[in-house]
């Protein structure tokens, strides 16, 4: 489909910039679509760390990855993504994906929250290796999501001053604010 939805665009673009054998993080595993995507992209020598605060999401993501025969590449953590820095070394990760909000059809109380998301983004930025990429899908179509999406966009834009390249992709002319995708690349020469 042209133009693609942000979720589809994220997979299409990221697929080409993830090398085999790297370490990747899915900060919001949910039903495991992104975890499975990352597990396929990193190849048999790569590794994926996947986080979610809902046991049901971890179970769902684990089942999806197992059905694809990729289980041995993924380490699941039933935990808040703010703790991701306890599971990887600084500057060791090639890509971190966030898909904010709540699971489709799920309890909206288990949505991502602005303070935890901003804290987890800071952790992700320090875990990324130079040249690594941060991918964040934002959903401003509901009031809380709009606040979170604006805060995240402002936060990532702030990285530009430290040499990061930050892009935003979204569909125009929708009835409600459309989901948008933020892609941030850490500078190749950086300690940020
Ligand atoms: C939009 S869904 C993710 C969809 C998923 N990437 C997929 O491919 O199916 C957002 C997920 O974030 C999880 N979540 C919310 N707050 C979290 C937190 N603080 N740490 C980790 N996961 C969280 C929710 O439980 C939910 O499963």
Mean pLDDT of the chain: 95
pLDDT in tens, 100-119: 999 877 667 788 999 999 99
Region label for 28, one of left (φ > 0), alpha (ψ between -120 and 50) or beta (otherwise)? beta
Distance CA 40, CA 159 (A): 29
- Report how far apart, in Å, the C-alpha atoms of 8 and of each of 55, 58, 62, 149 are: 26, 22, 21, 19
Does residue 31 line the site of ligand 1, with CB under 6 A? Answer: yes
Cα-only R_g, the chain: 15
Cα 112 to ligand 1 centroid, rounded to whole Å: 7
Over residues 133-150, mean pLDDT: 96
Cα 17 to ligand 1 centroid, rounded to whole Å: 23
Cα torsion angle, 125, 182, 10, 111, sign: positive
pLDDT in tens, 163-179: 999 999 999 989 999 99
Helix (H/G/I), strand (E/B), else coil: 138? strand
Over residues 146-152, mean pLDDT: 98
What pLDDT is attached to residue 107? 65
User: How much of the chain exceeds pLDDT 70, in percent?
Assistant: 96
pLDDT at 192 over 60: no
| Cis peptide bond prior to 18, omega within 30° of 0 | no
Distance CA 39, CA 170 (A): 26
pLDDT in tens, 43-74: 999 999 999 999 999 999 999 999 999 999 99
Does residue 102 line the site of ligand 1, with CB under 6 A? Answer: yes
Which residues are 167's β-sheet partners?
183
């Amino acid at each position: 489909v042209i133009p693609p939805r942000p979720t589809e665009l994220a997979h299409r673009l990221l697929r080409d910039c993830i090398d085999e054998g790297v370490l990747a993080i899915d900060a919001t595993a949910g039903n495991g679509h992104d975890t499975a995507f990352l597990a396929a992209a990193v190849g048999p020598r790569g590794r994926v760390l996947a986080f979610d605060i809902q046991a049901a999401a971890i179970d769902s993501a684990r089942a999806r990855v197992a059905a694809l025969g990729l289980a041995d590449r993924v380490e699941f953590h039933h935990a808040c993504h703010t703790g991701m820095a306890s599971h990887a070394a600084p500057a060791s990760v090639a890509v971190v994906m966030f898909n904010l909000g709540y699971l489709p059809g799920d309890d909206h109380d288990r949505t991502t929250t602005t303070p935890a998301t901003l804290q987890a983004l800071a952790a992700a930025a320090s875990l990324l290796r130079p040249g690594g990429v941060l991918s964040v899908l934002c959903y401003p179509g509901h009031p809380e999501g709009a606040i979170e999406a604006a805060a995240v966009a402002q936060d990532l834009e702030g990285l530009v001053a430290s040499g990061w390249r930050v892009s935003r992709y979204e569909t125009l002319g929708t009835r409600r604010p459309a989901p948008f995708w933020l892609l941030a690349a850490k500078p190749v020469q950086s300690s940020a």
